[in-house]
């Protein structure tokens, strides 16, 4: 550290060692409601993407369009990867950040 800046930075370091982020009172129900809406919306979009992928495969086979079938398979693979990420990422993010911000 630069010796000239030490007197200026020391109070900042002591003030910013631990800052606990807290939401205002009564916000928990609203946060849970919005989180539920987001979870249902993502699940609905995931289901729609699976149906579109299956439809694309069937249409490609019926009408002899190989590219449509390939796109359908790719969309099913992307939907599967998205479902795994949807299940895993919230737990990973929750374990990395426990509500305390350290400067």
Domain spans in the chain, listed from the N-terminal domain onward: 36-87
Phi–psi pair at 73, nearest 5 degrees: -65, -45
| More confidently predicted of 51 and 90 | 51
Strands (E), the chain: 19-20, 100-101
**2-42 pLDDT, tens digit each:** 566 666 666 655 555 566 667 788 888 888 888 889 889 98
pLDDT at 102: 53
SS3 content of the chain, % helix, strand, coil (to 5): 80, 5, 20
Helix axes 28-63, 66-96, angle to 10 degrees: 160
* Lookup result for tokens 């910013």: 16
């Amino acid at each position: 550290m630069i010796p000239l800046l030490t007197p200026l930075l020391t109070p900042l370091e002591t003030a910013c060692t631990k800052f606990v982020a807290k939401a205002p009172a009564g916000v928990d129900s609203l946060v849970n409601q919005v989180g539920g809406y987001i979870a249902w919306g993502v699940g609905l979009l995931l289901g729609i993407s699976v149906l579109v992928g299956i439809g694309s495969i069937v249409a490609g086979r019926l009408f002899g369009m190989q590219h449509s079938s390939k796109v359908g398979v790719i969309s099913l693979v992307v939907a599967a990867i998205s479902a795994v990420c949807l299940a895993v990422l919230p737990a990973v993010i929750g374990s990395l950040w426990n509500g305390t911000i350290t400067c």
